[in-house]
Structure 1
């Protein structure tokens, strides 16, 4: 009878309908018989990086134990080969965690996306008992977030990211720049004001939410080449323990591409755009560009109008303080330039670039800091002569550092540096004499 019924059903019901009914039946049976529940934590969430994924990624290496079946290890300290390797979680590795009597099983998975630009798509699977589902949501995930925040605040290594246009993703490497606020050859008052501004920024989350502003801060570092703008960026990163995303604006093909690039950065990070005046025409003063174009058109009336596809000024401004600026928290945005006067005023106003820091030529205080760093001395009989010369000679901190690195003997170095300053002063006097004549 059963065989007869099955034959009749096979004749009367199409195969696709049979498969649909079978799948629904097995799904119902598995839900009724299985006592497990699975959470999926993907790397991306609603067009931005998933902060829960990032927290789990920081938390799980602390739960590696005897039950862990595989490990990913590596080292990024070539100068210290005896240092123990770092531990990480490889794909398909299972980690068992115990929390408040619950047994929780983690697995990292990876699949290849089939988009125009193929890339790895990672996600975590968390299995627990169905009866523990609410406790996991209410207690376990907040515990992971708190633990991960503590780990990230104390991390001993930072990363610097650069955007790979071909793969459409950020590539990272370990960031180990020795610059700190202690070693910077800046005016003490300026250095202190920057540090106080950073301290105020990281502790004012409630203030930014209360006034309805995105939790971010914009810095413009400007001044001649070699005055320490990049060193200040490194010092800020080391001070806050923030990763750096170094963006070349030319990497973005359009405004939408720029939004994708910027929203794929993480919270508690620095977005760095160096030499913004050279990176793209959109940053230049539009009034000056229009005047230059009119002059070119007068000289070449038959020239076709140029097209400049790519990022527009409005696209860049929209991320700085428009609707897209709210996609992320606790971010520092830093522009550097050698020519502030070339930038469009729209980039410079508060809310986009909140703090303008002029990195100037080496002063007496800057020289003393460099002498302490490179020579290990805080005072010398030749300091007065050198400081008097610095009042009439413009040299960058990079030039001073180069002179102080010539020898390990302070006497010889200071004598050579004094001669260097005298030579520069004589060149300036000669140039002034030629101009007067």
Structure 2
């Protein structure tokens, strides 16, 4: 012990060494400050700080919120789809449920409750995910959800470069293979879309429609979903607008169901009457997801004025009805919809700058009276394809008979076809008699003939009364 104490330097030696080191450090700092520009000094300091953080701080946390700026966060949605497939023993709680009201014995789906943890492994790296929730600051906003990803600090680059892209790709594959579709309605009280399983049986195979029109619609839909690169190359948003118009009972809603089943797109059913203002409309529409159908039914019933432009006034002032100026849309925006939602507010989403907030979307409007709609809505880019859903034709009748009765020919077909060509009858009326009257084709077709004759007689009588009234 004594020899060890003798070997230790004296206090004066230690102080002298300290003074020398301090003097050298001050000298180096002075040279560093005088010889090296400030920008380079800051860059060196940053790299040294990152180096020390890498070695002395082992953990790092990523936060993935449910919304990114003004739109739905697609990364959050991908993680939400991906994580239930990675549930393991480390996960202590799970959500179970099903929204398939048509099948009570359907196996429940897995979901993650708030504070649930999921451990995932990717390329030898371990990650811990936690679903968290914060209360909304404002009463009309829903609670904010976010995923918290914890990993080693030196995994940060791999997370950004490999792990998150892998999650997005896996989620896309899961969504593409989904067996069930959802239909969404907006809950104003909770400020969120609520869904239920969409199991409408309509397909293009069962649709009672003229073959040429059906072929056109299918080819147009298939072309749309395959032309992402083309839309980008010509500088257009990847969306497509359809107007389905015609009398009630002509199959507009059934066609929407067939389109959803064909594309495997979820449906967002928006009731404009329940939207308070343009700001809420924008928030509602930006919270819809890609690869979906936005459905606005009976849009003519959402208007106060069937035509907000005064054609006579425009003619007097020398205005061109075909003027493509967006300002014209703005001037009449207060007149076309309920005062709470303006025409310009809707147009800004379907064809304005806000239309770029999302892609691969189908927007479908339905109307019983196309002539009541403002011309600003009918232009290409808003309603790109106008599809008239007319009264039942012989071809449509044969399709209905094959679908509901399982027959391609019958002795009564010729009589029914002749009656349909001179009597206005909707596919819904035809289907009602084929479904409800009898399983026997003879009885069902006979009942349909009686109905068409009765309707034809009523129409003739109405025309006779109308003619007599004009004469008087």
Deviations 1:303-358 (A, max 9, x none): xxx99632222222111211111111111111100000011111101111100000
1:252-275: CA deviation from partner (whole Å, max 9, x where unpaired): 222222211111111111111111
Gaps of 5+ in 1: 1-28, 292-305
Question: 8 Å contact 1:221–1:335 — kept in the other structure?
Answer: yes
1:174-213 paired onto structure 2 within 5 Å: 174-213=197-236
1:77–1:276 distance in 2 versus 1, CA, 3 Å? closer
Aligned to 2:453: 422
Name the counterpart of 1:24: none
Equivalenced residue count is 395
Deviation at 1:32, TM superposition (A): 6.9
Q: Which residue of 1 aligns with 2:324?
A: none
After superposition, what is the alpha-carbon deviation per residue over 1:77-116, rounded to whole angstroms, capped at 9, x for unaligned?
4554443222122221111111111111111111211213
Q: 2:87 is matched with which residue? A: 64
User: What residue is the counterpart of 1:359 in the other structure?
Assistant: 389
In the alignment, which residue of structure 2 is the partner of 1:303? none
Counterpart Cα distance in 1 of 2:350 and 2:73: 21
Change (3 A) 1:47 1:382: same
Corresponding residue to 1:46 among 69, 74, 86: 69
For residues 173-252 of structure 1, what are the structure 2 equivalents within 5 Å? 173-252=196-275
Shift of 1:279: 1.2
Q: Residue 308 of structure 2: which of 270, 286, 289 is its match?
A: 286
In the TM superposition, 1:67-86 aligns within 5 A as: 67-86=90-109
Q: Which residue of 1 aligns with 2:190?
A: 167
The aligned runs of 1:3-22 (5 Å cut-off) are none
Q: 1:264 to 1:77 in 2, by over 3 A?
A: closer
Query: Within 1, Cα distance between the matches of 2:91 and 2:212?
Result: 52
Is the contact between residue 249 and residue 280 of structure 1 (CA under 8 Å) also seen in structure 2?
A: no
1:104 aligned counterpart, secondary structure: strand
Cα separation, partners in 2 of 1:160 and 1:360, compared to 1, 3 Å: same
Task: Tell me the alpha carbon deviations over residues 263-294 of structure 1, each in whole angstroms, 9 at most, x when there is no partner.
Answer: 11111111111111111337x31135999xxx
Consecutive unaligned residues of structure 2, counting only runs of 5 or more, are: 1-51, 314-334
Establish whether residue 397 from structure 1 lines up as the match of residue 419 from structure 2: no
Q: Which has the larger radius of gyration?
A: 2
SS of equivalent to 2:422: coil
Do the aligned partners of residues 312 and 228 (structure 1) sit closer, same or farther apart at CA in structure 2, a change above 3 Å counting?
Answer: same
CA distance in 2, matches of 1:79, 1:397: 26
State how far apart, in whole Å, the 1-side matches of 2:396 and 2:348 are: 38
Taking the aligned partners of 2:145 and 2:214, their CA distance within structure 1 comes to 42
Q: RMSD of aligned C-alpha atoms?
A: 2.2
- Larger mean Cα displacement after TM superposition, 396-405 or 58-67: 58-67
Give the CA deviation at 1:435: 4.2
Q: Classify 1:169/1:285 alpha carbon distance in 2 versus 1 (closer, same or farther; 3 Å).
A: same
User: How far apart are residue 248 of structure 1 and its match?
Assistant: 1.4
Counting only pairs closer than 5 Å after superposition, residues 145-156 of structure 1 correspond to structure 2 as 145-156=168-179
For residues 365-423 of structure 1, give each alpha carbon's deviation from its aligned partner in whole angstroms, at most 9, with x where no partner exists.
11111111111112211111111111011111111111111222221111111111122
Contact kept, 8 Å, 1:112 with 1:118, in 2: the verdict is no
**After superposition, where does 1:79-98 map in structure 2 within 5 Å?**
79-98=102-121
Q: SS of the residue aligned with 1:385?
A: helix
The answer on whether the counterparts of 2:63 and 2:146 sit within 8 Å (CA) in structure 1 is yes
Residue of structure 1 in register with 2:323 after alignment: none
What secondary structure, in the 3-state scheme, does the structure 2 residue paired with 1:391 have?
Answer: helix
1: CA distance, partners of 2:212 / 2:133: 50
